[in-house]
């Protein structure tokens, strides 16, 4: 139990579908992150939220749309994705958004685009 819960664990969708990934933490953290992990590549930061405000968008295509309604919940809305978007999407949280804060990760959502 990591304290960060992601749903669903697996998702298969077509390129024209719309779906959402959900992340939830009750660790009292203020910062939340979305990462993408493609096969044989390092983790790539996508978005950072701190106190519900987006503080980082790492040049992510607009077909990925994040939403952070409160410090405990983070969503990633997906629409018209491409096959190269198939990857493991990981959510993390930390007390603050600096690099000197340990991050707690969820188990990830494995996304496959048909």
Partner 1 sequence: KNEVEQSPQNLTAQEGEFITINCSYSVGISALHWLQQHPGGGIVSLFMLSSGKKKHGRLIATINIQEKHSSLHITASHPRDSAVYICAGPSFGNEKLTFGTGTRLTIIP
Is residue 86 packed enough to be buried (19+ CB in 10 Å), middle (13-18) or exposed (0-12)? middle
Is residue 48 within the footprint of partner 1 (CB under 8 A)? yes
Is residue 59 within the footprint of partner 1 (CB under 8 A)? no
Largest CA distance in the chain: 40
SS3 content of the chain, % helix, strand, coil (to 5): 5, 55, 40
User: Rounded CA gap, 9 and 57, in Å?
Assistant: 24
**Shortest distance (Å) from residue 100 CB to partner 1:** 4
- Single out the segment in contact with partner 1 by CB under 8 A; choices: 21-29, 65-73, 75-83, 97-105: 97-105
Is residue 97 within the footprint of partner 1 (CB under 8 A)? yes
Q: Please select the residue that binds partner 1; options are 21, 90, 111, 113, rule is CB under 8 A.
A: 90
For partner 1, the binding residues (CB under 8 A) are 2, 37, 40-45, 48, 56, 58, 88, 90, 92, 97-108, 110
């Amino acid at each position: 139990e990591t304290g960060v819960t992601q749903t669903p664990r697996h998702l298969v969708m077509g390129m024209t579908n719309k779906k959402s990934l959900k992340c939830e933490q009750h660790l009292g953290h203020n910062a939340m992150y979305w990462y993408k992990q493609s096969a044989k590549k390092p983790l790539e930061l996508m978005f950072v939220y701190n106190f519900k405000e987006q503080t980082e968008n790492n040049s992510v295509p607009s077909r990925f749309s994040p939403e952070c309604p409160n410090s405990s919940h983070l969503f990633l809305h997906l629409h018209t994705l491409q096959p190269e978007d198939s990857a493991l999407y990981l959510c993390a949280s930390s007390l603050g958004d600096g690099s000197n804060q340990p991050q707690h990760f969820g188990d990830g959502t494995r996304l496959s685009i048909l």
